Amino acid sequence: MKRLIDWHLKKWKEGSSRKPLLLRGARLVGKTFAIQKLGKGFERFVEINFEYNKDAKRIFEKNLQPDLIIQELNLLLDVDILPGSTLLFFDEIQECPQALQALRLFFEKIPSLHVIAAGSFLNFAIEKVGMPAGKVESLYCYPLSFFEFLVADGHLHLAKTILERKEEEPFTEECHQKLLEIVSKYLAIGGMPEVVSCFVKTKNPRLCFPLHQHILDRYRQDFSKYCKDYQVKYVKELYNEVPRQIGRQFKYSGVHEEYKKRELSQGLDVLCKASIMYKVYHTKAEKLPLGSESHADWFKVMFIDVALAQSILGLDLKAWFLQPEKEFINRAGFLEAFLGGELLAYSTPYRKVELYYWKKEEKQSLAEVDFCIKHKESIIALEVKNGDGRTLKSLHLFLDLHPKSPYGIRFSVKNYSKAANVIFKPLYDVVSLAHEEQKEALQEFVSLG
């Protein structure tokens, strides 16, 4: 399957000021596959998985000099690692912290060698050994976005239609209904590459749904790899409870009545480091950067994938195929999760991106907008509504209280329209908010077919 990350990896490969690259993201989001695909464009591709290759690990434990490391790897693997024609890939690099430290020296001593690394628990290793500023680059990888799903499922013409739509011009009704139908499929299948691949090949969702449980089980099996023994029980509770609180301000008291906030907060931090969950922070949204006015105790939590979140709760995923109109109304929290996942997927992949929401809490009322983003140097409020979302009290209040925000956007099942300072967009058009660094990738994504 084509991925947006492929374009950024190709750009890295061809860059004149290239540095060793870390491809970062949760387990099973397609990092290794993307790098192996990139490797096909080199004369030589050398892959070392430190989880299995203990001999390679010992080479880095002896010394960190790149020329000696390359010499010994050539002998161990019976290959010739040549700068300019070889892609050297270190997989599961967290298993060899010395290799992570050596990346700086590869940049300094052999800058013409393409070196790339990935790891399922990379954030934990970086926390321990650090990452030299200015000597190593990062790219962040997420599950497939709806746009990537659309292309993978063979709807290239619809993807082009979305990108080529003129501003303030509604989609044709035929196109609109077809895209909503595919959105409902995406909400059931999700963006995990293994599940999407199964759906694209078989068109049989019944074969895909068991894969969600398989992935969830693999994540559970990983807990002991990055959690301290005493943390595992807290992480298990959070893993099962967070999907239940999607779309609401997170409450530790709703997880387990006998567990303390301190232990649970540490467990949640662990899951966020593993990129299985993401915090959506509160912001006053009065100035940039949005994080400068956040409230530490007010946050929501997103699960890595909207379909996995529903699956962990035992919800009926086939309903998205059989009665999508009803599900769009009944599962409002998961539409918010969908929007959050889309915002991450279309953000800049060159740094870790934080998401924010806004709320005003008073004794008599509560106003809240789902997300606030920086877009073209302005702060824009985003709402996602189930059904037709006729009431927009929170969004209008936000705009009244934030005169510097030029407009708000409401995403729903309705077609494009505009009224005063509110723009109404369909769920499938979140890609219109893509970061500038993604727009060229998106254009090439559809132009090459």
Write the pLDDT tens digit of every residue in 293-322. Answer: 888 889 999 999 999 999 999 999 999 999
Count of domains forming the chain: 2
User: pLDDT tens for residues 169-181?
Assistant: 999 999 999 999 9
SS3 of residue 12 by DSSP: helix
pLDDT value at residue 390: 57
Q: Which of 101, 121, 140 is the last residue of a domain?
A: 140
Same domain for 418 and 365, yes or no, is yes
Q: With 90 as the cut, is the pLDDT of residue 168 above it?
A: no
Rg (alpha carbons) of the chain, rounded to whole number: 23
Q: Are 351 and 360 in contact (CB under 8 A)?
A: no
- Asked whether residue 169 falls in the same domain as residue 70, the answer is no
Whether 42 and 153 share a structural domain: no
SS3 label, residue 78: coil
Q: Which domain holds residue 389?
A: 146-447
Residues 193 and 324 in one domain: yes
Residue 90 sits in a domain whose CATH number is: 3.40.50.300
Give yes or no: residues 286 and 409 share one domain. yes
Q: What token pair was written down for 211?
A: 């894969």
- Same domain membership, residue 327 and residue 199: yes
**Domain shared by 136 and 185, yes or no:** no
Identify which has the larger pLDDT, 389 or 274.
274
Check whether residue 333 and residue 221 sit in a common domain. Answer: yes
**Are 185 and 261 part of one and the same domain?**
yes
Res 284: pLDDT: 94
Q: What is the pLDDT of residue 134?
A: 85
Interatomic CA distance for residues 364 and 51, integer angstroms:
56
For residue 46, give the DSSP letter: E
pLDDT reported for residue 87 = 98
Residues 108 and 251 in one domain: no
Indicate if 280 and 299 belong to the same structural domain. Answer: yes
372-398 average pLDDT score:
86
Task: Examine the domain organization and report whether 131 and 269 are in the same domain.
Answer: no
CB atoms within 10 A of CB 173: 9
Give me the residue label for tokens 């943390």. 231
The torsion defined by the Cα of 344, 350, 351 and 352, in degrees rounded to 10, comes to: 30
Distances (CA, A) of 304 to 245, 311, 335, 362, 393: 14, 12, 14, 32, 29
Report the mean per-residue pLDDT for the chain. Answer: 94
Cβ atoms of 253 and 241 within 8 Å: the answer is no
Instruction: Locate the DSSP E strands across 312-365.
Output: 355-361
Q: What tens digit of pLDDT does each residue of 41-56 get?
A: 999 999 999 999 999 9
Domain final position from 100, 120, 140? 140
Confidence band, pLDDT 50/70/90 cuts, at residue 449? low
Query: Which H or E run contains 152?
Result: helix 146-152
pLDDT tier at 387, thresholds 50, 70, 90: low
